[in-house]
Amino acid sequence: MKEKPVRKPLRLGGYDYSQAGCYFITICTYNREHLLGRIVGADDSVRPSMIIEESEIGRIARVCWSKMDDIYETIRAGKFCIMPNHIHGIIFIEQGGHDGGTGGQSRPPLHKVLQEYKSVTTRMCFQMGCQKIWQRSYHDHIIRNEAEYQHIWRYIDENPARWEEDVYFKK
């Protein structure tokens, strides 16, 4: 009988993801399908660059991301980028409210925020005939200082220009 591979934990063990902090998030589409848009060249004679032309699903993903600030008292949606088969974003969990627990919490853990984000976008896209939008989980990185924040901010900002070099690139 073949042994199942041991799965590496997706989250940092023992870390409280409801505590105030800054988090870099990547969420991939189901089977890394190009559901969110396509990369196109921008008309810039000085410095050619690439931009994303969002699909309707990509537009829904962007709008829902921007609404996080309205839904949660202590969550702030930061820098965000849509790619053809994934999104990158920065989420701030601010001080205030209380952490942990269930129901009515004003400082929800990161996984609950992202679960709700994926659920809402999927329900909205279901009306357009889409069954599955997102992969099962997400990737996160705890941003620990200003230098890391600046590096990640630039990475997100420049991501469309580096699409063919992207780890998530798929033709």
| In the predicted structure, residue 116 carries a pLDDT above the cut 50 | yes
Taken in order of first residue, the domains within the chain and their CATH numbers are 21-164 (3.30.70.1290)
Residue 53: per-residue pLDDT = 93
What's the pLDDT tens digit per position in 45-74? 545 577 889 999 999 999 999 999 999 989
What's the pLDDT tens digit per position in 42-51? 655 545 577 8
pTM to 2 decimal places: 0.83
For the chain, strand residue ranges (E) read 21-28, 37-41, 50-54, 75-82, 86-93, 139-143
Helix axes of 110-126 and 56-66: crossing angle, nearest 10 degrees: 140
